[in-house]
Structure 1
Amino acid sequence: MKTHTIMVNPRFCETDALGHLSNISYFIYLEEARTRLFDEMSHGGRTDEWHFILASTKCDFIRQAFFGRRLRVETNVSRIGNKSFQCIHRIMEEETGRLIAIGEAAVVHFNFQTQTSEPLPDDLQTMLAEYLAPSVGETISPLSCKKRSKKGSGISSACTADFSFSTFPRFFGPNHRRQHTL
């Protein structure tokens, strides 16, 4: 299995008021990783025969990342379907190897003239298979969600996430656990 890797140097402008990288920056890094993967698969050639649209994307934020700390983004393919494939990304701090975020993207082969999805070409399926991760199911999700009902308002999800806010101890303290309701 091949793993596609890029390095990212976070810019100061990609941080937010709390001093860590803004959530939108992660999606930019994931897009850059996918684009470079597609470039690598085409061996510098033309990709105009491969028409992709992004059907969905998500990112689970596990730890904070900061300006001045170089990141490594690893990309694999977690699923190859008839008309689409799924990428999985891991963002890690280069120096420590600590996992910062896990991203996913569903990519569809799309005909822009007919406005319909089309089967993945055989050569593309072969190239994607080189990046196929053998056991993506072992990826740890940072969120654990449980359904609970709110009185008089139906069902909602209560999710908890572990965040390491050791750089902001006066606000949160180390290993503070925050409760989020979706």
Structure 2
Amino acid sequence: MLSIKFDVRFYETDGLQHVGNTALVGWFETARLPIFKFFTPTLDLNNWPLILANYNVDFLEQIYLADPVEIKTWISHIGNSSFVVYQEVWQSDTKKAKGTTTLVRFDYASKKAVRIPDDIRAMLEEHKIDLE
């Protein structure tokens, strides 16, 4: 499991006094940074090898400004060219949201999905979770 903790920022809250639903997508992306580095250690955007194919977020409870959040990140599935990232948002020892993101290793020149190399596959496996 990968984990990152940070404070909720004031601008992420909405008129209902809780974190707006779009903030979580950004939090999840920020928490995927270590996974991005498996593929591109320098995060060179000119040679970016991933595309986002899908994401889902389930909101379980409201999140507020008061306490820091922790984003926990695992890999729930590894395919030939794609993998699924499973993430949770925790605040005050309570799971507040969960989500999945499907990423695909992609060759922009050929505009095709390409196989995940064995060395990167091994790094992804280190963070695997069985959700069933």
How high is the TM-score relative to the length of structure 1?
0.67
Structure 1 letter corresponding to 2:103 = V
Aligned partner of 1:116 in structure 2 is 112
The answer to which structure has the higher helix fraction is 2
Q: Does 1:136 align with 2:131?
A: yes
Q: Which residue of 1 aligns with 2:80?
A: 82
Q: Which amino acid aligns with 1:76?
A: W
Match of 1:45 in 2: 41
Residue by residue over 1:20-79, the C-alpha shift from the partner in whole angstroms, topping out at 9 and shown as x without a partner, is: 00000000000001123333x47x933556600000001000011111310000000000
* Bigger relative CO (Cα 8 Å, ≥ 6 apart): 2
User: 1:2-41, aligned counterparts within 5 Å?
Assistant: 3-39=1-37, 41=38
Q: Which residue of 2 aligns with 1:62?
A: 60
Number of aligned residue pairs: give it.
Answer: 130
The CA distance in 2 between the partners of 1:124 and 1:57, in whole Å, is 21
What is the TM-score with the length of structure 2 in the denominator?
0.91
Unaligned runs of 5+ in 2: none
What amino acid sits opposite 1:45 in the alignment? P
Q: Are residue 104 (structure 1) and residue 93 (structure 2) matched? A: no
Secondary structure, counterpart of 2:31 in structure 1:
helix
* CA distance, structure 1, for counterparts of residue 2 and residue 113 of structure 2: 26
Change (3 A) 1:37 1:79: same
- Unmatched 5+ residue regions in structure 1? 138-182
CA RMSD of superposed structures (Å):
1.7
Give 1:84's aligned amino acid: S
Structure 1 runs of 4+ with >4 Å offset: 47-50
Aligned residue identity for 1:136: L
**What's the counterpart of residue 170 of structure 1?**
none
Q: Is the 8 A contact 1:8 1:29 kept in 2?
A: no
SS in 1 for 2:32: helix
8 Å CA contact 1:11, 1:68 repeated in 2: no
The alignment status of 1:126 with 2:122, answered yes or no, reads yes
